[in-house]
Structure 1
Amino acid sequence: MALAYILITTKVGDTEIAVGEIKRLDRIQEANVYTGPYDIIAKAEADSIDEITNTLMKEIRQMPEIEKTVTCIQVER
């Protein structure tokens, strides 16, 4: 099982829309809005890092509300 935290910056005014869309994705276990350098932090779990990468690149990064992401992959479980 692979686990990653995705730190997300959204376009101004689009955070609530983005977090709602992210929460609906299959591999996202949790997504919340924060203050600070990142607007949303999402927790992703899947059978492999490749599955998380696909969710990130093909779904999250394609959302028009998303400006930037940083992914932190857990190395031990």
Structure 2
Amino acid sequence: MVEAFVLIQTEVGRAEVVAKQLAGLPGVLSSEYVTGPYDVVVRAGAESLAELRATVVPSVQQVSGITRTLTCPIAEAAQP
């Protein structure tokens, strides 16, 4: 499985609503409303990088209220 963090900026006042909408999408493993330069951080996963790019990321980007995204594929997950 390939995973990525998607850093999301939203319209003013929409971050909490957007985070809740994103949480229900296929491929979204977690969706958090945060503070800082980004408003929402999503952890997404798919069977391949191609699938992540073709299906998961576009579905995230289509949610109303999102103004900008930055997708950061996880190179290697740290093991506890």
**Alignment TM-score, normalising by the size of structure 2:** 0.86
Identical positions, percent: 32
Superposition RMSD on alpha carbons, in Å? Answer: 1.1
User: Match of 1:55, as an amino acid?
Assistant: V
User: What do residues 52-71 of structure 1 show as CA deviations (whole Å, max 9, x unaligned)?
Assistant: 222111x1111221000001
1:29 and 1:63 map into 2 onto residues whose CA distance is 16
Unaligned runs of 5+ in 1: none
Larger Rg: 2
Separation in 2 of the partners of 1:64 and 1:45?
21
- What are the ranges of 5 or more consecutive residues in structure 2 without an aligned counterpart? none
- Structure 1 segments, 4+ long, off by >2 Å, are none
Contact 2:46 2:56 survives alignment (8 Å):
no
Greater mean deviation of Cα atoms: 45-54 or 61-70: 45-54
Deviations along 1:19-49, one digit per CA (max 9) or x if unpaired, are 1110001211111011100001000111011
Report the counterpart of residue 33 of structure 1 in structure 2.
33
